[in-house]
């Protein structure tokens, strides 16, 4: 009976996921957009500590070696960019994508325009929804977070991070769009680099911010569909950047 119950529960979860995906495809198929159904994940540990740890590691690279080990911190190593967990992993920027996919099982979609369908928006904060978006020869990280910036008032924060350097990020523009019940809301900005902390972007409010009532206007049975489009910005003058 226990085996049957577990199998039956897994089948129900699969049916629910397929139903959510079907609804999203029905809504956005006319636009020819790919749909990714993203389930929520509760963060195990929030990153003011992760950001502080990353900053401390950079500061320690200037100081004498720690008495525990003689190795000097490599300034080219970056900490794990996944905001879900306090992950101790460090590596070069070129292998961040493989780490996110293999260790944290983050899905990746390809295409200029996709739809990010976040389920179970009613869950209590803090909760994260994350996918990777491959477009224009680069990989981007979309983070949607439900968090209480003020006690008792949860808000939703959505931002796009380029898995690359800040100079590379300046070459792109991303657009997040909510469209439901004859209402449309757009956010357009330059993505931030994953070398910056996601939590700093959210705390600064440099992202799409929705309060609970506004999120409910655009949600459908507890799911929030966000259209994502990435384009290249105007060509920057390399002399000005230098």
The domain segmentation of the chain, as residue ranges, is 31-38+77-232
Tokens describing residue 238: 């390399």
Give residue 112's pLDDT: 78
The CB-side HSE value for 78 (13 A sphere, CA atoms) comes to 19
CA gap 98, 86 in Å, rounded: 18
Find where tokens 């808000």 sit. 155
CA gap 118, 163 in Å, rounded: 21
What average pLDDT does this structure show over 139-147?
A: 94
Q: For domain 31-38+77-232, which CATH number applies: 2.120.10.30, 1.10.10.10, 3.30.565.10, 2.60.210.10? A: 2.60.210.10
Q: What pTM did the predictor assign?
A: 0.72
CA gap 76, 87 in Å, rounded: 18
Give residue 7's pLDDT: 56
Nearest Cα residue to 19 out of 221, 230, 214: 221
Give residue 200's pLDDT: 87
* pLDDT band at residue 63 under the 50/70/90 scheme: very low
Give residue 109's pLDDT: 85
The CB-side HSE value for 242 (13 A sphere, CA atoms) comes to 3
126: preceding bond cis by omega (within 30 degrees): yes
Q: Which is more confident, 68 or 231?
A: 231
CA gap 104, 84 in Å, rounded: 9
CA gap 7, 1 in Å, rounded: 10
Nearest Cα residue to 230 out of 107, 164, 142: 142
Instruction: For the chain, give the percent of residues with pLDDT over 70.
Output: 67
Pair 159, 143: CB distance under 8 Å: yes
- Kindly tell me if the per-residue pLDDT of 190 is higher than 70: yes
The DSSP output letter for 92 is -
Q: Give the lowest-confidence range in 53-57, 171-175, 177-181, 187-191.
A: 53-57
Q: Would you call 156 exposed, middle or buried from its count of C-beta atoms within 10 A (0-12, 13-18, 19+)?
A: buried
Pair 131, 158: CB distance under 8 Å: no
């Amino acid at each position: 009976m226990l085996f049957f119950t577990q199998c039956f529960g897994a089948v129900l979860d699969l049916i629910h996921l397929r139903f959510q995906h079907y609804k999203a495809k029905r809504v956005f198929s006319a636009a020819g957009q790919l749909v990714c159904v993203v389930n929520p994940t509760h963060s195990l540990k929030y990153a003011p500590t992760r950001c502080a740890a990353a900053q401390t590691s950079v500061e320690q690279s200037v100081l004498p070696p720690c008495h525990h080990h003689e190795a000097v911190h490599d300034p080219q190593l970056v900490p794990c960019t996944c905001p879900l967990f306090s992950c101790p992993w460090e590596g070069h920027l070129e292998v961040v994508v493989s780490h996110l996919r293999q260790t944290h099982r983050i899905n990746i979609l390809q295409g200029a325009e996709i739809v990010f369908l976040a389920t179970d928006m009613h869950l209590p904060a803090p909760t994260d929804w994350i996918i990777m978006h491959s477009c224009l020869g680069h990989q981007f990280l979309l983070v949607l977070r439900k968090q209480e910036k003020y006690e008792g008032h949860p808000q939703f924060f959505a931002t796009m991070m380029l898995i690359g350097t800040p100079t590379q990020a300046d070459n792109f523009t991303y657009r997040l769009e909510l469209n439901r019940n004859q209402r449309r809301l757009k956010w357009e900005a330059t993505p931030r680099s994953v070398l910056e902390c996601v939590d700093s972007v959210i705390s600064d409010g440099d992202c799409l911010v929705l309060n609970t009532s506004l999120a409910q206007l655009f949600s459908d049975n507890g799911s929030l569909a966000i259209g994502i489009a990435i384009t290249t910005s105007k060509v920057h003058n390399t002399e000005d950047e230098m």
